[in-house]
Amino acid sequence: MRKSFDDIVQKVNELTFVIEEALNLLKNSPPNFKIKKKIETDIKSLKRSFERHEMLITDTVPPMIVNTSKHAKEFVETWRIYKDYMTEQFGIRMGTRMQAFRLKLLAEYTNDDFKLAAKWLEYYMARGSENIYPVKQLNSEEKNDQSTEQRASFALPKEITGSK
């Protein structure tokens, strides 16, 4: 992907050079001045677009291979959703190094319990967080919280719960 993007940028740069040479051949007249300004503005806009897209190209390193025998299938699916969430919410496309270190940190925090790690990822997404951090387990039984029975309840749409 990176090479393909670099090739496109190179071709656009070559085309820009040819267009600028052609503009220099035009006589200085009001209609030509208007055309020149329009083309210069469009070229600057195109270059800014390429610069923004270049930040999204992160696959210079081969993608990480997940060993499904080590990770539960549910965790792998939750991790994929988490990666999409990071891109969608924060514009962060995690490269292989970021993924590797986030996975390492998550495994460390959960003592390699990937079922718990999947729940934590869901918690991060529900809270709108972009960071990995230890989640404190709150147990209402330990706190002897009498107000748990008075909590309001709600029903999730069937599309989310997957029930019929």
pLDDT tens readout for residues 78-94: 999 999 999 889 888 88
Report how far residue 27's alpha carbon sits from residue 17's, in angstroms, rounded to the nearest whole number. 18
Containing domain of residue 125, as a range?
Answer: 61-139
Greatest alpha-carbon pair distance for the chain in Å reads: 85
Whether 148 is in a domain gets the answer no
Q: Is the pLDDT of residue 64 over 90?
A: no
CA dihedral 68, 69, 72, 74 (to 10 degrees): 30
In a domain, 152, yes or no: no
Q: Tell me, yes or no, whether 38 and 73 share the same domain.
A: no
Q: Report the pLDDT averaged over residues 72-79.
A: 84
| pLDDT tens sequence across 119-147 | 999 999 999 999 999 988 744 444 444 44
86 with 68, same domain: the answer is yes
What distance in Å separates the CA atoms of residue 64 and residue 81, rounded to the nearest whole number? Answer: 16
pTM listed for this prediction? 0.48
160, part of any domain: no
Whether pLDDT at 75 is above 70: yes
Could you write out the three-class secondary structure of 37-55?
HHHHHHHHHHHHHHHHHHH
On whether both 70 and 122 belong to a single domain, the answer is: yes
* Counted domains in the chain: 2
